Amino acid sequence: AQSVTQPDIHITVSEGASLELRCNYSYGATPYLFWYVQSPGQGLQLLLKYFSGDTLVQGIKGFEAEFKRSQSSFNLRKPSVHWSDAAEYFCAVGEGYSTLTFGKGTMLLVSP
């Protein structure tokens, strides 16, 4: 069965600093990988997704993620964090007609 691990429950980053959120997946084939963001009181919004091709994927709001098959990872990055990025971030994996499996989430706190 597919699974997703987000090792960090919460991370605090200073505004303007770089960010990396970790995601590891367990899946037999090449998965489809996603990052979603949930702002306080809101539903989830898709940041980016990977399904094939270039392993570095660009998303909205200045985020990017890199698929590394050898490490079974799909880490989310942003070069300079803004206070408005404070939210909970979810990594998800799926394949074909399967439903998505979500990680448990990483809460990002941005300090002034």
Partner 1 sequence: EAQVTQNPRYLITVTGKKLTVTCSQNMNHEYMSWYRQDPGLGLRQIYYSMNVEVTDKGDVPEGYKVSRKEKRNFPLILESPSPNQTSLYFCASSLHTGALETQYFGPGTRLLVL
Inter-residue contact 56 to 33 (CB < 8 Å): no
Of 16-24, 56-64, 69-77, 91-99: span binding partner 1 (CB under 8 A): 91-99
Q: What is the DSSP letter of 100?
A: P
Binding mask 93-112 for partner 1 (x = CB under 8 A): xxxxxxxx-xxxx-------
CB of 101 to partner 1, least distance (A): 8
Beta strands 106-111; 10-14: pairing state? parallel
CB of 3 to partner 1, least distance (A): 11
| Interaction residues for partner 1, span 25-54 (CB under 8 A) | 31-32, 41-46, 49, 51
Inter-residue contact 5 to 92 (CB < 8 Å): no
For position 8 contacting partner 1 by CB under 8 A, the verdict is no
Q: For the beta carbon of residue 2, count every other beta carbon within 10 angstroms.
A: 17
Q: Which residue is it, tokens 């037999």?
A: 28
Interface residue list for partner 1 (CB under 8 A): 9, 31-32, 41-46, 49, 51, 90, 93-100, 102-105
